[in-house]
Amino acid sequence: MPQDDDYSTDDILPQSERLQALSPEEYELLWGHPVFSDSDRALFFQLNAREQEYFGQLRTPKTRANFLLQLGYFRARQRFFVLTPALVADDLAYRREKYLEGKPVPNLKMSKVVCQRQLAWILDHFGFECMSSQHRDTLESRALDTVRISGRPLYVMRDQGNQTNPGKRALLRLACGLLHGVQTEENGRIE
């Protein structure tokens, strides 16, 4: 008799047969790394007095660079990104003279503790808070109502974002899981 952890490779769907809720363009619009022009960089990487005070407490060019980049990207997309030298080279070069005293930053890897501390400061700075289970239930109910209007994932995600932003609650990866559950439930009702 097969055990629960035994399964055949036929049970796993190949990558090409998995559900793709978003087109590549929609995915990039929602989740992609921002690409800035010089005017965008001037806007998103400018530090106000409170940000400059926190920035001044950071000691190494690496921690300063990480903070500056995450803050700018969060302003643009309200989410955090994994920073790789290839993706951030232009943005880092743009602000190196003003904020990093021209010092090169060859390695952007930081300890988990320092990274989490910076990200928590950014979330707090912009007034975000953790999502309660009550708020999650409200969003799920709203998603069920929204999917009846349009089953397009981008429409549902935008509606969820519109519901979330006024209260300044961090959505952080909830939308995809919630959307999958809502679509599955709604598809079951339609069939």
Residue 20: inside a domain: no
Separation of alpha carbons 156 and 176, rounded Å: 10
Write down which residue in 68, 92, 125 finishes a domain. Answer: 125
76 within 8 A of 36, measured Cβ to Cβ? yes
Neighbours of 173 (CB within 10 A): 9
Write the pLDDT tens digit of every residue in 97-147: 888 888 888 888 889 999 999 999 999 999 887 777 888 888 888 888 888
| Residue 85 and residue 150 in one domain | no
- The terminus-to-terminus CA distance of the chain in angstroms comes to 33
- Going by C-alpha positions, the residue among 20, 31, 28, 23 that lies closest to residue 161 is 31
| Count of domains observed in the chain | 2
* 57: containing domain: 30-125
Kindly report whether the global pTM for this prediction surpasses the value 0.75: no
